[in-house]
Structure 1
Amino acid sequence: MSPTHKVVARTRYPSDLTDAQWDLVEPFVRGNPVGPQPVVHERREVVNAILYISRTGAPWRYLPHDMPDWQSVYHYFRLWTKDGTLKLLHDVLRGKVRQQEGRSAQPTAGILDSQSVKTALEAESRGYDAGKKIKGRKRHLLVDVLGLVLVAWITTADVQDRDAAAAVLPMAAEQFPTLQKVWADGAYEGPRVADIAQQTGIEVEIVKRTDTTPGFVVQARRWVVERTFGWLSRERRLSRDYERKEESSETFIYLGMIRLMLGRLA
């Protein structure tokens, strides 16, 4: 049996990667075979531990004893966040899912929205969303028409959506030259967003409610990003923002989508 499919000497957790899923992940996280340092923890077990934290919402120090020690797991989480490993894995998997669905790997259209969530006391940054009456952070997501995340940007909750668009749209234009159109709700309406749209060459169409029916009504296009927020809510680590740093919050969004896309691909 190859080292890639080495049997783990413990009871399997539901969040563990399957062999087929590990085959997709392993090229991005394999260790450097050169050097005198022996491998203390199998990379697959480190990834399993990170996914365990994401799925269960447990604090790092509460990792089960049959997994690698939490200090090592957190070290790799921070390392792969800073060097872009997890973001790269996420982006490659997104391209594979899009192609599996018969689409080009690069998107031409997207949907933009935000979600305000409460933060833990340890958070280095937070703000107050007066509209949602939430003190914490705001997740700004641009997704493709399949609901897959294109851009995730974390701010304090007091940042207005139209102001966030001034950062998200240029990032999207740089990362996705093929992107032509973005749908958004009325919170993004105004001259500021229109100016940014013109500068980036991305058409922004505001989708508004056209009826007077009270309560929830499914809106054309906008329901796609709402479904993505629903997918991410399955990750208990994302039930609120527990992270000290905003970049860690962003990484857990990618981890939630990585799990979803691995499930579709393998």
Structure 2
Amino acid sequence: AFTQRKTSRKPTVRTPFFLILDAIIFIDVSGCQWRLLPKEYPKWQTVYYYFRRWGAMDAFAEIEDSLVEAVRLRRGESPQPTIGAIDSESSRSALPRSQKGIDGNKKVKGVKRNIITDKDGDILEASTTPANIHDSKSAYAILAMLVVAFPWIKRIYADRGYRGNFIEKARHDFEIDVEITHSNYSGQFVPAKKRWVVERTFAWLENFRRLCRNCEETTESANEMLLLIF
């Protein structure tokens, strides 16, 4: 007669996804290594697995888009922004084997972070490339992603690094006007009108030790860490 074989395997206990997300944010804020994750969090292998999996699914970008809309509604604003500001910053690489390039203008060997924010400084779209990629080239790709998530964008404020064919391509391909603003520098720092919010957002990144230098091997992973600042 057939008898069912008994097993002593214990039932699987699922780790709450919120706790995993909290652990990933802890990595981004503290800058600690994955293997040094505190014991109150799940095993670092589990946390890293979901970090890579959610990144491949663009989950962080979707969460950020939803949070931006919610924050704008709470402020009494339209959930869909119509204007934005674009800029980039170069970050030195902390790993010898990571994807990187040399920003000849700023003398930085690492990656370049490109972001578009709304008028309040909240990130609408972001991309990370090797630092040798020119701003105007990476801006076209990030603008293409922006119009998918926020199709009501009609005007983008940028600095002089985005002059040239990019302005015409943005108007022709996406019907977005790119306005170049000047800082009017006269011996001391003067915030550029309507574009200063993106500079402030870059200053906020200093609160995340993982972003002070690029600690990721790939630009995809580096961009996922950038999107986590929601």
Instruction: State the TM-score, normalized to the length of structure 2.
Output: 0.90
Q: Please give the secondary structure, in 1, of the residue aligned with 2:207.
A: coil
Please show how residues 31-110 of structure 1 align to structure 2 within 5 Å: 38-110=12-84
Distance 1:161 1:97 in 2: 29
Distance 2:160 2:61 in 1: 30
Query: In the TM superposition, what is the alpha-carbon distance from 1:221 to its structure 2 partner?
Result: 1.3
| From 203, 209, 220, the counterpart of 2:177 | 203
Total equivalences in the alignment: 221
Letter in 2 for 1:214: G
| From 191, 196, 221, the counterpart of 1:223 | 196
Residue of structure 1 equivalent to 2:107: 133
* Aligned CA distance change for structure 1 residues 37 and 178 (closer, same or farther; 3 Å): farther
Query: In the TM superposition, what is the alpha-carbon distance from 1:198 to its structure 2 partner?
Result: 2.3
Q: Please give the secondary structure, in 2, of the residue aligned with 1:151.
A: strand
Distance 2:97 2:69 in 1: 33
Asked if 2 retains the 8 angstrom alpha-carbon contact of 1:126 and 1:136, the reply is: yes
Q: Identity of aligned pairs, percent?
A: 37
Query: In the TM superposition, what is the alpha-carbon distance from 1:209 to its structure 2 partner?
Result: 3.0
Instruction: State the TM-score, normalized to the length of structure 1.
Output: 0.78
Q: Please give the secondary structure, in 1, of the residue aligned with 2:190.
A: coil
Asked if 1 retains the 8 angstrom alpha-carbon contact of 2:128 and 2:222, the reply is: yes
Q: Please give the secondary structure, in 2, of the residue aligned with 1:233.
A: helix
Query: In the TM superposition, what is the alpha-carbon distance from 1:123 to its structure 2 partner?
Result: 4.8
- Where structure 1 has 5 or more consecutive residues not aligned to the other structure, the ranges are 1-35, 258-266
Asked if 2 retains the 8 angstrom alpha-carbon contact of 1:57 and 1:236, the reply is: yes
Query: In the TM superposition, what is the alpha-carbon distance from 1:234 to its structure 2 partner?
Result: 0.4
| From 222, 234, 241, the counterpart of 2:214 | 241
Letter in 1 for 2:196: W
Distance 1:172 1:71 in 2: 33
Greater Cα radius of gyration, structure 1 or 2: 2
Residue of structure 1 equivalent to 2:161: 187
Distance 2:167 2:177 in 1: 10
Asked if 1 retains the 8 angstrom alpha-carbon contact of 2:55 and 2:224, the reply is: yes
| Higher deviation after alignment, 178-187 or 244-253 | 244-253
Asked if 1 retains the 8 angstrom alpha-carbon contact of 2:85 and 2:198, the reply is: yes
Q: CA RMSD in A?
A: 1.7
Query: In the TM superposition, what is the alpha-carbon distance from 1:39 to its structure 2 partner?
Result: 2.7
| From 211, 230, 251, the counterpart of 2:224 | 251
- Where structure 2 has 5 or more consecutive residues not aligned to the other structure, the ranges are 1-9
Distance 2:145 2:30 in 1: 31
Distance 1:247 1:140 in 2: 13
Query: In the TM superposition, what is the alpha-carbon distance from 1:195 to its structure 2 partner?
Result: 2.4
Distance 2:156 2:97 in 1: 31
